Amino acid sequence: MEIILKQDVNHVGYKDEIVTVKDGYANNFLIPQGLAIVATASAKKVLAENIKQKARKEEKIREEASATAEKISAINGLKIATKAGENGKIYGSVNSIQLADAIKAQYDMEIDRKKITIKGDAIKELGKYEAVISVYKDIKAEIPFEVVGE
């Protein structure tokens, strides 16, 4: 029997995929559990239309993410001021929260701190560093910044 999966099913297939399974498995388990529907001609047309619409939405989101990544990459001269000792050691460390706050304050861009990854180990000294911001799935932007003493 040919069915359209509504969710991912182990050892059968992924969501929105048309697969062939045994009649008993489809009628007694997949369809009653709401994991699949029968693949009629009209259901296949609806599936094709849904996939087209998802592709359009995905394309728009990717375009917006690319534009945001370009804006982020254009940032230059970002400085984070923090308390430091005479030998350049920072009291504590600089993390993604402080980086997100500095971007918001200096460039008025709202970036989720969870999407920021600072290259290398923890920042415990004054100097120049780089961070990678994950804008969307595989779209990333690199941003240089400098940690300076107050």
Q: What is the pLDDT of residues 28-40, one digit of tens each?
A: 999 999 999 999 9
Which pLDDT value is given to residue 86?
86
| pLDDT given for residue 77 in this prediction | 86
Q: What are phi and psi of 144, to 5 degrees?
A: -85, 145
Fold held by 69-149: Ribosomal Protein L9; domain 2 (3.10.430)
CATH code assigned to 2-61: 3.40.5.10
pLDDT tens by residue, 100-114:
999 999 999 999 999
Taking residues 69-90, what's their average pLDDT?
90
Domain locations along the chain: 2-61, 69-149
- Rg of the chain's alpha carbons, rounded to an integer? 25
CB-based contact 63:130 (threshold 8 Å) = no
